[in-house]
Structure 1
Amino acid sequence: MYELFKSKASAVGAEVHRVAGKKEALGFITSLLKEECAAELPGCRAIWAEGPFLEGIDRETLRNLPGLSFEVTRERAAQAKVGISEMSFAVADTGSLVQDQSAPADRLASSLTDIHIALVPSANIVPDKASVFTRISPKTSRYIAFITGPSRTADIERVLTIGVHGPQRLVILFVDELEGGRR
């Protein structure tokens, strides 16, 4: 299912990567933050929403990365270039990510930044939307988000613009080592 997801997500402009474990994921994220010149300046910061991935991670090492904060507020998100959050599921047949975004930090990290890095447990790739709704319920989840590619919109003349209402770049990172992640 990973290859189908990758094909569908890539077709709508997402970047899809896969790593074996947290160590490789941290290396990937660190490299991307350096590549994007994350710094303690407005418009250059990075925010990381709380989630199971961070359990057991030495945050002091990460705090040394310029501009990275684990405190996700509206103000910080508005000044951040990169947002990192965890997704609950990946839907193979549409290339979409799914997350219960009841926590405001998840919404801020995934929608207010220019670049969204989405961490997904590889085990949570499901074939279709029907499979998602056997695992997550609109009755108990107040805010279910489906994310398909970077933000895009078009005007009446069909001129496509990327990143007007959300991230210009969506980087999806599947991590094999993650069990089930958040639900």
Structure 2
Amino acid sequence: MSSRKSILEAIKAIPREEKPLPDLPDFGISGELEEGFTQSILGNKGEVLEKSVFENWLATQDFSKILSLTESYRNLSTIELPKDPHELSTLDLAILEGQFGVAENGAIWLDDSQLFLRAIPFITEHLVIVLDRKNLVPTLHQAYQRIGDAHSGFGLFVAGPSKTADIEQSLVIGAHGAKSLRVVWK
């Protein structure tokens, strides 16, 4: 018998007593989910906007390359979705649809069904996520339950604009992704 096999056999022979998993406390948001979500996004340096406020804001901007993958704002796209993500290197604004949001931390779940190209939320200068108010959950635990066993090749939570203070504790916005995040209520 090899050393590896004898070690593994010795480990398997160790008697183990089954221990139940601890109960998770309810870290839910007190009050309204929408209010908790909005406060979390603001704390993450993002914005939450009503549709009319977003449209007014957009009218004041000078974005030359806009990619919208949402039904409600598809007409705003100035470019088509390319096959090669490198073609998005100068993307000014991406508008995506979020599946659901988490009130306790402002995280918004995106997966392959919205993205089509994984690079979009990271390569764009500014990110807008359209989210239905009815699709809020109180905690991240409930978010993971909602994701469950759904098949997805890729998924991520976005909770604000990209930021880091790794180098000399100097805050840099947009270091690894979008410089701004706006959530627009559907």
* TM-score normalised over the length of structure 2: 0.72
Distance 1:88 1:154 in 2: 29
**Residues 43-80 of structure 1, C-alpha deviations (whole Å, 9 max, x = no match):** xx11112xxx41xx696xx2xx5x72242451442121
* 1:35 counterpart (60, 69, 85): 60
Distance 2:43 2:139 in 1: 17
CA contact (8 A) 1:101 1:145 kept: no
Distance 1:84 1:69 in 2: 12
Query: Which protein is richer in strand relative to its size?
Result: 1
* SS of aligned partner of 1:7: helix
* SS of aligned partner of 1:69: coil
1:6 maps to which residue? Answer: 38
1:124 maps to which residue? Answer: 135
Q: Which amino acid aligns with 1:47?
A: L
CA contact (8 A) 1:151 1:167 kept: yes
* SS of aligned partner of 1:118: strand
CA contact (8 A) 1:38 1:81 kept: yes
Gaps of 5+ in 2: 1-32
- Give, in angstroms, the shift of residue 172 of structure 1: 0.6
* 2:81 counterpart (71, 76, 82): 71
Distance 2:140 2:184 in 1: 20
Q: 1:138-153 maps to which residues of 2 (within 5 A)?
A: 140-153=151-164
Gaps of 5+ in 1: 40-44, 176-183
Q: Which amino acid aligns with 2:67?
A: I
- Give, in angstroms, the shift of residue 149 of structure 1: 0.9
Q: Which amino acid aligns with 1:87?
A: G
- Give, in angstroms, the shift of residue 16 of structure 1: 0.7
1:159 maps to which residue? Answer: 170
Taking a change above 3 Å as real, the CA distance of residues 135 and 155 of structure 1, as seen in their structure-2 partners, is closer
* TM-score normalised over the length of structure 1: 0.73
Distance 2:167 2:145 in 1: 38
CA contact (8 A) 2:68 2:95 kept: yes
Q: Which amino acid aligns with 1:81?
A: D
Distance 1:32 1:70 in 2: 23
- Give, in angstroms, the shift of residue 119 of structure 1: 0.6
1:173 maps to which residue? Answer: 184
* SS of aligned partner of 1:135: helix
| 2:94 corresponds to 1:83 | yes
Taking a change above 3 Å as real, the CA distance of residues 138 and 117 of structure 1, as seen in their structure-2 partners, is same
CA contact (8 A) 1:97 1:146 kept: yes
Q: Which amino acid aligns with 2:136?
A: I
Q: What's the RMSD between the two structures over aligned residues?
A: 2.4
- Give, in angstroms, the shift of residue 138 of structure 1: 5.6
Taking a change above 3 Å as real, the CA distance of residues 101 and 153 of structure 1, as seen in their structure-2 partners, is farther
- Give, in angstroms, the shift of residue 103 of structure 1: 6.1
* 2:49 counterpart (17, 25, 39): 17
The structure with higher relative contact order (CA 8 Å, sep 6+) is 1
